Chain A
């Protein structure tokens, strides 16, 4: 039972354009959501998070949107840069902290010149 789903295994975007990565969840108890970025042969690194009391959180080029009624969140990257090419994982937890994360399967983003 996949509680966090990333239905797009891959995404290709031109440099300078917007990248939109999507994530759906089924567990209504999740109240804290995170996005991680992973380069090959490295561990995941934290990008941005959002609490369920918010519907948007912004950090530089990265914005996460949360739609609780649809159990959907998205990560927007504007403008996309070649260095953004990586696998992006959505993760969720219960209790408002980054404890016991449940991860999605990841979306591979390729930013082309």
Chain B
């Protein structure tokens, strides 16, 4: 049971390049999320998917696209990377719990640098 996994762990891009960040969860959760974390700021929601087949914008969606490939996988794509997208990206998943506290489970993060 790996929880939430993210690939790659690190990535350096040049301005204008594209890339896709991958995320997968094995907890059978319905909802998945992408956040970015910048110095001095909390985690900010980029996009989320409440269930397979649906996606919605979060607080900072500009410059990103997402795909909920199936229940397990949720990818984040940067079509034309900009230096302002240098950040640490976290994927998370959740499902409402009737037994314990409802929470989001986070992956280890992808550190992205755009030159």
Contact = CB atoms under 8 A, between A and B. Distances in A.
B42 A46 contact: no
Nearest to B44: A103
Contacts of A32: 102
Interface in B73-110: 90, 92, 94, 96, 101-109
Given A44-B90, A99-B94, A49 B102 contact: yes
B101 A46 contact: yes
Q: What is the interface of chain A mostly: helix, strand, loop, or mixed?
A: loop
B12 interface: no
A103 B58 contact: no
Contacts of B96: 97-98
A89 B107 CA distance: 16
A34 to B, nearest CB: 6
Interface in A70-113: 89, 91, 96-106
Nearest to A104: B42
A53 to B, nearest CB: 14
How extensive is the interface on chain B, given as a class?
20 to 34
B4 interface: yes
B112 interface: no
Interface string B3-42: 0100000000000000000000000000101010000111
19 contacts: A6-B42, A34-B101, A42-B108, A43-B108, A44-B43, A44-B90, A45-B106, A49-B101, A49-B102, A91-B42, A96-B102, A97-B102, A98-B96, A98-B102, A99-B48, A100-B48, A100-B58, A101-B104, A105-B40
Interface of B: 4, 31, 33, 35, 40-45, 48, 50, 58, 90, 92, 94, 96, 101-109
